[in-house]
Amino acid sequence: MSKKLKDIRENASRRVSDILADIQSRLKRKNKELPLSERTIGQWLEKWAEECPDKEAVVYSDRDLRFTYAQLNHRVDTLAKGFIAIGITRGTHVGIWATNVPDWLTVMYACAKIGAVCVTVNTNYQQNELEYLCKDADLHTLCIIDRDRDTDFLGMTYKMLPELRECERGKLESSRFPFLKNVVFIGQEKYRGMYNTQELLILGENTDDAQLDALKAQVNCHDVVNMQYTSGTTGFPKGVMLSHYNITNNGFLTGEHMLFSSSDKLCCCVPLFHCFGIVLATMNVITHGCTQVMVERFDPLVVLASIHRERCTSVYGVPTMYIAMLTHPMFKMFNMKSLRVGIMAGALCPIELMREVEQKFYMRVTSVYGLTEASPGMTHTRYEQSFEERCTTVGYEFEHTEVKIIEPGTGRFCEVGEVGEFCNRGYNNMVGYYNNPEATAETIDKDGWLHSGDLGILDEDGNFKVTGRIKDMIIRGGENIYPREIEEFLYHLDGVQDVQVAGLPSKKYGEVVAAYIIQKEGAQLTEEIVKDYCMGRISRFKIPQYVLFVEEYPLTGSGKIQKFKLKDIGLRMLSERGVIIE
């Protein structure tokens, strides 16, 4: 045997031994006590900046842009001082409306350091939705990019705030939005009435450290640090208030279940404005000192190339993302063998898809079940569980939480195998809905149980399974859609007498939106007219995939609409028209 071949074999054998030793070391952790931490987000960042300053914290592989923990911490502190210079302080609400651009995380961490609240804005929002959030959240500052695909963020912001074109930066006065004082462009370009991040960094360099230190000293782990707007379990979108304690501990425990260590590199291709991105894909990184490999917006080719180039050990996504990567014509050109573990969540995860992902991505797939109001994880399948458990259940509850299946209406705890409502009690329950104590009380009862509206069972092995939903929420490719919001919108379309919105099953998205419309006498609406009315007014994912015209709705004896029957009616009507649901 040649010396070269012998060396190759010895190196390969050594690598296998190292991998096995690493896995055994990680598995030893699964039975250790996992205490909750009272560190704030800013303190977690400072911990790693001090302990491993030269370790890469955030990487944009496609841009070859890299920040070490020391560099990131310095940039965050500088931006935080820039925020202070423009009037942002403890309790201030700062909105961020952007894709996963490099300074997204800088904005979020800067807010966390000074006790401000980062309010995440869905990049799919259209004019009405943007204005609703800005007003409801009492935003003081809105940070934006120029656009995302065909949505013009700049144009919509100027339309909402025509005063911006005439006012000096930082001196915005709007009668419609009295709290809003600043708009910040994330980038170096200059726009009328707006600061840009480069200017804020310069302001920060010239702001006294003492002001930053004074605000940092006031930050408590139980302070609200993040607000995310969700339709939740009732009504119109509401601001879910989440604390440092909520989201850092949920992120930490998620990472522990997946046996994370500081040597891991997570490819984050999910949007940061969701809990999936900001908690599961960011807080588990910052609490373990890992490297976060960012993708600005999901593109299967960029994700595959990033995993390949950076030798990522983990990747998260919704089922449609994995399908897009697996079916990409260049998939086989990339080496996925560095991957070890991932999360597939946000929608129902088909068994065959999970099997294919495990085989072709060389990793174990886990799933997290929960909702934004639970920060978001309530249950999680663990790394060491069998494939069958990981693909047919949502695992068992997070440490330091109680998850119960409760009989709706009675509050009785259900027995094993008995269907009831998923309810959660623990550190991860939200602080509440912003300025909405009534809705908070509807979601979290007097005994502290957060009611999810989802139906499920507990099996004999202690794993939970989701079986359906009490509420009417539609989940399309990971996006929560509340039918009433779309119904109220469509009521304003001429010719609509009544409208009901419900979900129809979809292989691609899990569910899609279907609108069942009763027309006014003499009206001649068409599917095209309804969809055209929606375009540019509501988010694309909320626009009905199917528009069905009906004469009446199924009713109970007391005259209430039986929404659960609309699904069968829709499937029958589409079948009669020869439509195949994808």
Q: DSSP string spanning 152-203?
A: EHHHHHHHH-GGGGTSPTT----SSSTT--EEEESSS---TT-EEHHHHHHH
Per-residue pLDDT, 488: 83
**Domains and their CATH numbers in the chain:** 68-219 (3.40.50.980), 228-469 (3.40.50.12780), 474-576 (3.30.300.30)
Are 289 and 252 spatial neighbours (Cβ–Cβ below 8 Å)? Answer: no
Both tokens assigned to 231: 């339709």
Q: Yes or no: say if 283 and 242 are a contact pair by the CB < 8 Å rule.
A: no
Whether omega before 483 lies within 30 degrees of 0, making that bond cis, reads no
60 torsion bin: left (phi>0), alpha (psi -120 to 50), beta (else): beta
Q: How many helices (H) does the chain have, and how many strands (E)?
A: 19, 29
Question: Between β-strands 314-317 and 341-344, what pairing exists: parallel, antiparallel or unpaired?
Answer: parallel
- pLDDT value of position 198: 96
pLDDT score at 475: 86
Q: How far apart are CA 217 and CA 212, in angstroms?
A: 9
Half-sphere exposure of 548 (CA within 13 A, CB side): 28
Given a contact cutoff of 8 angstroms between Cβ atoms, the answer to whether 315 and 324 are in contact is no
Q: Can you give the pLDDT of all 582 residues of the chain as single tens digits?
A: 555 555 545 544 444 455 555 555 555 554 467 999 999 999 999 999 999 999 999 999 999 999 999 999 999 999 999 999 999 999 999 999 999 999 999 999 999 999 999 999 999 999 999 999 999 999 999 999 999 999 999 999 999 999 999 999 989 999 999 999 999 999 999 999 999 999 999 999 999 999 999 999 999 999 999 999 986 444 578 999 999 999 999 999 999 999 999 999 999 999 999 999 999 999 999 999 999 999 999 999 999 999 999 999 999 998 889 989 999 999 999 999 999 999 998 766 778 889 999 999 999 999 999 999 999 999 999 999 999 999 999 999 999 999 999 998 889 999 999 989 999 999 999 999 999 999 999 999 999 999 998 889 999 999 999 887 777 778 888 887 878 789 889 988 999 988 999 999 998 898 999 999 999 989 999 999 999 999 999 999 999 999 999 999 987 544 567 787 898 999 999 999 888 777
Secondary structure of 374-403 in HEC code, one letter for each residue? HCCEEEECCCCCCHHHHHHCCCEECCCEEE
User: pTM of the full predicted structure?
Assistant: 0.84
Q: Which amino acid is at 89?
A: T
